[in-house]
Amino acid sequence: MDNKKIIFSGVQPSGNIHLGNYLGAIKNWIKLQDEYQCLFCVVDYHAITVKQDPKELKKKIIEIAKIYLASGIDPKKSVIFQQSQISEHTELTWMLNCVSARMSDLNKMTQYKDKAGDNENVSVGLFDYPVLMASDILLYQTDLVPVGEDQKQHIELTRVLAKRFNNEYGKVFKIPEVVIKKEGARIMGLDDASKKMSKSASSEFNYIALLDDSDRAKKKIMKAVTDSEGVVKYDVKNKPEVSNLLTVYSLLSGYSVKDLEDKYKGSGYGDFKKDLAELVAQFLISFQEKYNNIKDEDVEKILEKGAKELKSVANTTLNNAKEKIGLN
């Protein structure tokens, strides 16, 4: 790796990757590739914090890497790799579990509370998920972590764990910064704008998957919940549904929200939704054309090459940390 600043981010190979993942995270990574050394991970150890079907998981790992490539991640500029191919991720997790992370830190994590609710019958891994995420980031001396809004708390925890370790044992880890782009940082569910668009939503009318059939996607937009006012206006507090659709429209078309408000002044939601449905369909058709042209064997080679390239970097950090706590 050269002397550029390091960017690290990742997506779990679980559920259906949706427009929220794309607009809130992956799309923003594309522009960063020239200025930074970018590392994009398929975080498969995170995916197994909830039950996965082994055959499906294998397919999903390749699918995520393909989605990275079809979105414009260039393997000549950025490193794409699979988390479980570098054992240092789980080794560092164990060390941080023991010497840096506290139950009281993890008890504050809202994602865990949202996912587990009152159910005690969830995996220990789901609770420990943020420490694995911290290890991902810290192993590579990451400078910046571009993510959607929902991950902010996890990056803050990463900083706490790194500082705590450095203070107690001597400097091993760089303290990373979170990068959250305001627009698209939290795309909301199409069926319920009070919750984020989510892979694990119970209804498929919550999200537009990147691999959705374009006609199906059009239907989902036409069925998206709005209000009864009939005014296309951005007002997150009073019109969260319409504001969410405006955000998606703006990010996919490049038009500003203001331009879109002007365009649909006085015309109700019918034309607005129809045009958005067409825009989404065209986006999906062009995305999927790229996706379908990528061969599984090529993806496997890219993942292997990525892991080879990063193994020694991860190993150096891990050994430094081991040395400091008296393990080497």
Is 11 a binding residue for ligand ATP by CB under 6 A? The answer is: yes
- The one of ligand ATP, ligand LTN, none whose footprint includes residue 136, by CB under 5 to 8 A per kind, is ligand LTN
The least distance separating ligand ATP from the CB of residue 192, rounded to whole angstroms, comes to: 12
In 3D space, the residue among 318, 306, 315 whose CA is nearest the CA of residue 37 turns out to be 306
The half-sphere exposure of 289 on its side-chain side, counting CA atoms within 13 A, is 5
Is 191 a binding residue for ligand LTN by CB under 6 A? The answer is: no
Query: Which part of the chain contacts ligand ATP (CB under 6 A), choosing from 18-26, 30-38, 236-244, 279-287?
Result: 18-26
Q: Residue 204 carries which DSSP code?
A: G
The least distance separating ligand LTN from the CB of residue 66, rounded to whole angstroms, comes to: 18
Is 43 a binding residue for ligand LTN by CB under 6 A? The answer is: yes
d(CA 53, CA 235): 41
Helices (H), ranges, the chain = 19-21, 27-30, 44-47, 54-71, 88-99, 103-106, 110-116, 124-139, 152-169, 214-223, 240-253, 257-263, 270-292, 296-325
Q: Restricting to residues 144-173, which ones interact with ligand LTN according to CB under 6 A?
A: 145, 147, 151, 154
Does residue 115 carry a catalytic annotation? yes
Convert 223-274 into a string of H (helix), E (strand) and C (coil). HCCCCCCCCCCCECCCEHHHHHHHHHHHHHHCCCHHHHHHHCCCCCCHHHHH
Task: Measure the CA angle with vertex 155, ends 245 and 243; round to 5°.
Answer: 10
The least distance separating ligand LTN from the CB of residue 111, rounded to whole angstroms, comes to: 7
Binding residue (CB under 6 A) for ligand ATP from 24, 130, 176, 306: 24
Does residue 324 carry a catalytic annotation? no
Is 198 a binding residue for ligand ATP by CB under 6 A? The answer is: yes
Contact pattern for ligand ATP over residues 25 through 64, marking x by CB under 6 A: x---------------------------------------
Is 75 a binding residue for ligand ATP by CB under 6 A? The answer is: no
Is 46 a binding residue for ligand LTN by CB under 6 A? The answer is: yes
- The one of ligand ATP, ligand LTN, none whose footprint includes residue 8, by CB under 5 to 8 A per kind, is ligand LTN
Is 125 a binding residue for ligand ATP by CB under 6 A? The answer is: no
Binding residue (CB under 6 A) for ligand ATP from 7, 12, 92, 310: 12
Of 49 and 324, which has the nearer Cβ to ligand ATP? Answer: 49
Residues in the chain: 328
- 62-65 long-range contacts, CB within 8 A, separation 24+: 62/296, 62/299, 62/300, 63/13, 63/17, 63/211, 64/11, 64/12, 64/13, 64/17, 65/299, 65/302, 65/303
Which residues, 6 or more positions from 279, have their beta carbon under 8 angstroms from its beta carbon? 249, 252, 253
Is 10 a binding residue for ligand LTN by CB under 6 A? The answer is: yes
* Coil, helix or strand at residue 118: coil
Binding residue (CB under 6 A) for ligand LTN from 44, 63, 128, 136: 136
Where on the chain is the footprint of ligand LTN (CB under 6 A)?
8-10, 12, 43, 46, 133, 136-137, 145, 147, 151, 154
**Which residues are catalytic, by number?**
115, 196, 199
